[in-house]
């Protein structure tokens, strides 16, 4: 390593400058009152190994590649050493889990290690997930297993390149220590390799941070947190609105807007978060906490990747808009004692649903390469398309990529042939099914003709919003299994593919295929437990 990178980056923390720490410095699980965080030191790990890092994010943070390959970086990302200036801390939050108030939760295994200013001048907070117990661990070990860390590392970066707001992941480090987990909750715990992901985001503040202050009646702390969040994470609002009531109102509206943009990104790409508890909702509208998430293979709005949710399907793909709105209601309830303005908030929450419905419709039209126009004609095309997707198991990702290949002026090319590799059950893909698709293609072609649609332009537009690569569940599962055996090849290949999700790279073609049959019901490939 060249000498110029012997110095580790210097970090600071605006959170620590603003808020007093819990005076109890010992790390034992407890309720913390009157403070938003506790100082805590990451617990040493035995034999850290850098399994992967995001070169793209490192570049944005101004970390030279050779630094990221150095032992100094590895030790800091493992929690064995501190970045210069780092005062590590874990924060306190609460949340509604599966619709029930769960009380104090907090960073039970995530430790903030400081902020750096990135190349765009944006402050970015670094956080180690799996770095050992904190006062918020609730008796658990503060660690994370390799399989869940591989999943979080890859998905954070995949979402970023898909253009969906998300926390990011700088590094994936194997700890060399093992962790005991009951993966299937069936009374058979086993040792698994441990790992740490360094997550990066402008803010890790969650709805649950505000909720816990409100629930405990800590109104001054709640006001301080609201004012801090607006000043630090929404500086444009701070500058525009001198009047406090107006500032609070515009802030809540902006949180709703950002959350709506994030939600639409999920619905466009077929992402299912899996645990949309209020503690897993970021106040800056980024996807956060990648646990038992999943991607739609066949289009099924009722699909949930989370085994704990299999009965209720509260967090299934199609429920996400309603649940996100419910979470915003909980946020509004928490803010109300400080911000007031109930009518305004209620109107915003109603507007959220109305705007999402409009967004969803416009987006589905755009996915099909159509511009919104005459309502009745648009509805006919969309309704028909949704019926096709529901009629037989059809891959959500492949269907839209193939639809872009359909040239409506070349009637000899039948849509049923063009989209055939998006169909799961090839044996039942018979003449009746094919005729149904070709019949819809006539309606679709007529609409394209009415809009004077040019095929090459439409194809380019569609392929810019319909990914060819999503992080299919079975791929991540295989990458995690192979990484546990010391084979990092698939992890590397997935890192390559996820950086260009809209562009077909011939060498990566096998990663674009629909889910293979063997993966349909295999644990980790179709559904996941929360054990991580």
Give dist(CA 394, CA 403) in Å, integer: 12
Backbone angles phi, psi at 88, to 5 degrees: -70, 145
Give me the 240-279 binding string for ligand AMP, x by CB under 6 A, dash otherwise: -----------------------------------x----
Cβ of residue 109: shortest distance to ligand AMP, in angstroms? Answer: 4
Cβ of residue 91: shortest distance to Mg ion, in angstroms? Answer: 12
Cβ of residue 95: shortest distance to Mg ion, in angstroms? Answer: 8
110-117 and 94-97 beta bridge pairing:
unpaired
Give dist(CA 196, CA 43) in Å, integer: 11
| Active site annotation includes 279 | yes
Cβ of residue 289: shortest distance to Mg ion, in angstroms? Answer: 4
With CA atoms as reference, report the closest residue to 443 among 408, 494, 479. Answer: 408
Cβ of residue 132: shortest distance to ligand AMP, in angstroms? Answer: 9
With CA atoms as reference, report the closest residue to 231 among 49, 14, 442, 81. Answer: 14
Count interface residues toward ligand AMP (CB under 6 A).
Answer: 16
> How would you label 176-198 residue by residue, b for 16+ Cβ within 10 Å and e otherwise?
ebebebebeeeeeeeebbbbbbb
219 binds ligand AMP (CB under 6 A): no
140 binds ligand AMP (CB under 6 A): yes
- The residue (of 108 and 301) whose beta carbon lies closer to ligand AMP is 108
289 binds Mg ion (CB under 5 A): yes
DSSP state of 183: T
Q: Is the dihedral of CA 483, 165, 306, 276 positive or negative?
A: positive
> For the chain, how far is it from start to end, CA to CA, in angstroms?
35
Residues 109-128 that bind ligand AMP (CB under 6 A): 109
Query: Which H or E run contains 358?
Result: helix 342-367
107 binds Mg ion (CB under 5 A): no
Give dist(CA 282, CA 208) in Å, integer: 9
323 binds ligand AMP (CB under 6 A): no
Residues contacting residue 436 through CB under 8 Å, at least 6 positions apart:
388, 391
- Tell the burial category of 367 from Cβ atoms under 10 Å away from its Cβ (0-12, 13-18, 19+): buried
- The residue (of 85 and 108) whose beta carbon lies closer to ligand AMP is 108
Give me the 257-286 binding string for Mg ion, x by CB under 5 A, dash otherwise: -----------------------x------
108 binds ligand AMP (CB under 6 A): yes
- Which one of ligand AMP, Mg ion, none interacts with residue 56, CB within 5 to 8 A by kind? none
105 binds ligand AMP (CB under 6 A): yes
Which one of the listed residues 279, 289, 378, 395 is annotated catalytic? 279
- The residue (of 54 and 532) whose beta carbon lies closer to Mg ion is 532
Residues 141-160 that bind ligand AMP (CB under 6 A): 141-143
- Which one of Mg ion, ligand AMP, none interacts with residue 94, CB within 5 to 8 A by kind? none
Count interface residues toward Mg ion (CB under 5 A).
Answer: 2
Q: How many helices (H) and strands (E) does the chain have?
A: 18, 12
The residues binding ligand AMP (CB under 6 A) are 105-109, 136-137, 140-143, 275, 280, 289, 291, 530
The residues binding Mg ion (CB under 5 A) are 280, 289
Residues belonging to the active site: 279
């Amino acid at each position: 390593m060249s000498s110029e990178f012997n110095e580790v980056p210097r970090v600071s923390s605006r959170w620590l400058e603003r808020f007093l720490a819990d005076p109890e410095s010992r790390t034992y699980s407890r309720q913390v009152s009157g403070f938003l965080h506790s100082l805590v030191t990451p617990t040493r790990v035995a034999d850290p190994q850098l399994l992967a890092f995001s070169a793209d994010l490192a570049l944005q943070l101004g970390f030279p590649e050779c630094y990221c390959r150095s032992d100094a970086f590895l030790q800091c990302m493992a929690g064995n050493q501190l970045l210069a200036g780092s005062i590590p801390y874990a924060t306190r939050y609460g949340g509604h889990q599966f619709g029930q108030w769960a009380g104090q939760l907090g960073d039970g295994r995530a430790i903030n290690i400081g902020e750096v200013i990135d190349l765009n001048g944006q402050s970015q907070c670094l956080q180690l997930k799996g770095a050992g117990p904190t006062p918020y661990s609730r008796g658990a070990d503060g660690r994370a297993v390799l399989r869940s860390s591989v999943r979080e590392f890859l998905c954070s970066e995949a979402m970023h390149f898909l253009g969906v707001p998300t926390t990011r992941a700088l590094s994936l480090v194997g700890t060399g220590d093992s962790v005991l987990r009951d993966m299937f909750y069936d009374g058979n715990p086993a040792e698994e390799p441990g790992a740490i992901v360094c997550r990066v985001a402008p803010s890790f503040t969650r709805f649950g941070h505000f909720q816990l202050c409100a629930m405990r009646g800590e109104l001054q702390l709640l006001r301080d947190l609201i004012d801090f969040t607006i000043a630090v994470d929404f500086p444009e609002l701070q500058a525009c609105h001198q009047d406090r009531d107006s500032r609070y109102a515009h802030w809540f509206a902006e949180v709703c807007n950002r959350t709506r943009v994030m939600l639409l990104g999920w619905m466009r790409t077929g992402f299912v978060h899996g645990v949309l508890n209020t503690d897993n909702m970021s106040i800056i509208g980024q996807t956060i906490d990648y646990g038992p998430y999943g991607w739609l293979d066949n289009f099924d709005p009722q699909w949930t990747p989370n085994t704990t949710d299999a009965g209720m399907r509260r967090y299934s793909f199609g429920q996400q808009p309603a649940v996100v709105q419910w979470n915003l209601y909980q946020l509004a309830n928490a803010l109300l004692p400080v911000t007031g303005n109930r009518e305004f908030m209620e109107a915003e929450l109603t507007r959220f649903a109305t705007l999402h419905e409009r967004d969803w419709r416009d987006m589905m039209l755009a996915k099909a390469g159509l511009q919104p126009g005459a309502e009745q004609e648009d509805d006919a095309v969309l309704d028909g398309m949704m019926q096709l997707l529901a009629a037989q198991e059809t891959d959500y990702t492949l269907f839209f990529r193939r639809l872009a290949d359909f040239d409506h002026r070349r009637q000899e090319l039948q849509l049923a042939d063009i989209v055939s590799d998006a169909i799961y059950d090839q044996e039942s893909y018979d003449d009746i099914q094919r005729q149904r698709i070709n019949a819809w293609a006539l309606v679709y072609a007529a609409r394209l003709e009415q809009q004077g649609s040019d095929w090459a332009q439409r194809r380019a537009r569609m392929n810019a919003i319909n990914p060819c690569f999503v992080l299919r569940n079975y791929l991540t599962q295989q990458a995690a299994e192979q990484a546990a055996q010391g084979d990092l090849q698939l992890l590397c290949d997935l890192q390559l593919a996820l950086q260009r999700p809209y562009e077909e790279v011939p060498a990566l073609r096998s990663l674009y295929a629909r889910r293979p049959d063997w993966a349909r019901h295999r644990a980790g490939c179709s559904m996941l437990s929360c054990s991580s």
